[in-house]
Amino acid sequence: MTRVIAASLAEGLAALLRGEVVSWADLGAEPGAFVTACVAEDLTGLVHRQLAARPPADWPQSVVGELERAAREDTAREALRGRELAAALDALAGSGIRPILLKGTPLAYTVYGEPSLRPRGDTDLLIRREERESVRRVLGALGYEATNYSDGEFLFHQFEMARNDAFGVAHALDVHWKISTESVFVDLLDYEELARESAGVPALGPNARGAGPVHALLLACVHPVMHHRNLERLIWLYDIHLGASRLAPSELDAFTRLAVRKGVARICAHELELARVRLGTRVPEPMMRTLRAPGRPEPSAAYLAPGRRWSDELLSNVRGLPRWRDRLRLLREVAFPAPGYMLRSYRLDAVAAAGALLPALYLHRGLRGLWKVLRNRK
C-alpha cells in the first residue's frame, strides 16, 4: 500500500474487496481522505461495486455519492478509451502489425466484471523490434504524437504515443519491444512466446489479443517487483487475485513450471502470498512450496530486498548485462541521454542554437540527479 494510507484504512479497503461488510466507524477515516485514498489506489469502481452489492447502514451519504459519481465517470471514460484502442489496433492490423496487450488493459476486459473497474494511465503493447517505425507511422496518422522518452539500446525498450480526443480524454499507448527495462527481466518473455499463447479480447475488436492467462498471471506477479521496488498496491494484488482464481489446476501447474523455468519463482511466491493474506486468494500449498523451494539460483530475487533505491536498480541493471561494453554503454545512456531528449526536457527544442547549451544542461541534470540520490529521493 502506498505510505500515505493508514494501516486501518488499508485493511478496511482489503476487507471490502474480499466482499466483507465494513462499518464506517471501523475505517477510522475522514470522508474526504477515504475518497482520496480510493482514487489514489485506483479502487473507486471496485469499492463502489462492493458498497452497492452490500450497502452498509452507517456510511456517510457524501462518500457513497462521490464514489457513485466517480464510477459513472470511469464508465463513460472507459467507453471512449475502448473505442479508441480498438480503432488503433485495427489500423495497426491493416499494416500487418498485431501487438499483444499487456498488464492492465487486457485484464480489465477479461477478468474484471467491467473494464472501468480497472483504471490505468496507459495501455501497454508489445511488438516486434523491427516494427517500431511502422507503429510510429500508423499511430502518427491517427493523430498520436511521441512523448519525450529517453532512448538508447539498453536504457529503455519502449516509446509512448499519446493524443487527446474530441472529448478531452487522454489516450496513451506505451509501445514495448522488450518486456522490461531491467536487464535481469528484459528477456523474461518475448513477443513470439507470448503470441503463441495469446488470447483474443473480443470487447476490443477482432484485432485485440492479450497475453494468455498463464503469462498474464506471471506478468502481474513480476510487475510490482520488476518496475516498482515492491510497492504494494491493492489494485495490483487484485489483478493477481482474479488471474490466479480463474486458472484451472493444470494451468496453475503450468504457471508454476513457467515461474521456475524463468527464474522468478520466489517473486511469484511473494506476490501470491500477499494476495492470499490481503484478499483471501486461494493458492494450492504444494504450488507455493514449489515456488519457495530453496537452492535454485534466482538473480531476480535480489529485487525482493526491502528498501531498494534507484542506485540499487541501476547496479542490478548493470550487473545483469553480460559484457562490459554493454555495461559501459548503459551507464553512458543514463548519464548522457540523447541531445534531442535533453532539449525537449528543458523546453529548448524550438530555440535557435540551443545546442550550445547542452554542456550546461548535462551538468545541471547530473547535479540534480546526484542531489536526489543523496537525499534518498531517487
85 and 183 in a common domain: yes
117 and 44 in a common domain: no
Chain segment 170-229, per-residue pLDDT in tens = 999 999 999 988 888 999 999 999 999 999 999 999 999 999 999 999 999 999 998 888
Quick one: average pLDDT of 348-363?
84
Give a yes or no: residue 104 inside a domain: yes
Give a yes or no: residue 207 inside a domain: yes
Contact partners, residue 143, CB within 8 Å, separation at least 6: 163
162 and 38 in a common domain: no
- Cα torsion at 244, 249, 251, 256 (round to 10°)? 80
pLDDT at 150: 63
Quick one: average pLDDT of 238-253?
97
pLDDT-based confidence at residue 45 (cuts at 50, 70, 90): very high
209 and 221 in a common domain: yes
288 and 160 in a common domain: yes
pLDDT at position 92 over 50: yes
375 and 275 in a common domain: no
pLDDT at 2: 42
Contact partners, residue 71, CB within 8 Å, separation at least 6: 44, 45, 48, 49, 116
12 and 131 in a common domain: no
Give this prediction's pTM: 0.90
CA distance 203 to 104: 15
Chain segment 30-41, per-residue pLDDT in tens = 999 899 999 989
Quick one: average pLDDT of 230-238?
92
pLDDT at position 1 over 50: no
Q: What residue numbers bound the domain in which 319 lies?
A: 305-335
CA distances from 289 to 219, 273, 275 (A): 20, 11, 16
Quick one: average pLDDT of 262-271?
97
Give a yes or no: residue 70 inside a domain: no
Lowest mean pLDDT among 22-31, 233-242, 282-291: 22-31
* Count of structural domains, the chain: 4
Supply 141's cell numbers.
496518422
Q: Give the residue carrying C-alpha cell 500508423.
A: 138
Give a yes or no: residue 71 inside a domain: no
Domain containing residue 151: CATH number: 3.30.460.40
362 and 241 in a common domain: no
Q: Most confidently modeled of 19-33, 51-65, 203-217?
A: 203-217
Give a yes or no: residue 2 inside a domain: no
323 and 358 in a common domain: no
Give a yes or no: residue 113 inside a domain: yes
Contact (CB, 8 A) for 201 and 210 = yes
Chain segment 143-164, per-residue pLDDT in tens = 999 987 766 666 678 899 999 9
Give the 3-state DSSP-derived string for the chain, with helices as H, strands as E and coil as C: CCCCCCHHHHHHHHHHHCCCCCCHHHHCCCHHHHHHHHHHCCCHHHHHHHHHHCCCCCCCHHHHHHHHHHHHHHHHHHHHHHHHHHHHHHHHHHCCCCCEEECHHHHHHHCCCCHHHCCCCCEEEECCHHHHHHHHHHHHHCCCEECCCCCCCCCCCEEEEEEECCCCCEEEEEEECCCCCCCCCCCCCCHHHHHHHCEECHHHCCCCEECCHHHHHHHHHHHHHHHHCCCCCHHHHHHHHHHHHCCCHHHHHHHHHHHHHCCCHHHHHHHHHHHHHHHCCCCCHHHHHHHHCCCCCCHHHHHHCCCCCHHHHHHHHHHCCCCHHHHHHHHHHHHCCCHHHHHHHCCCCCCCCHHHHHHHHHHHHHHHHHHHHHCCCC
217 and 167 in a common domain: yes
What's the whole-number average pLDDT of the chain? 90
Give a yes or no: residue 69 inside a domain: no
Could you tell me what percent of the chain has a pLDDT over 70? 95
329 and 277 in a common domain: no
Supply 293's cell numbers.
523451494
CA distances from 261 to 131, 243, 244, 251, 264 (A): 28, 20, 19, 15, 8
pLDDT at position 46 over 70: yes
138 and 113 in a common domain: yes
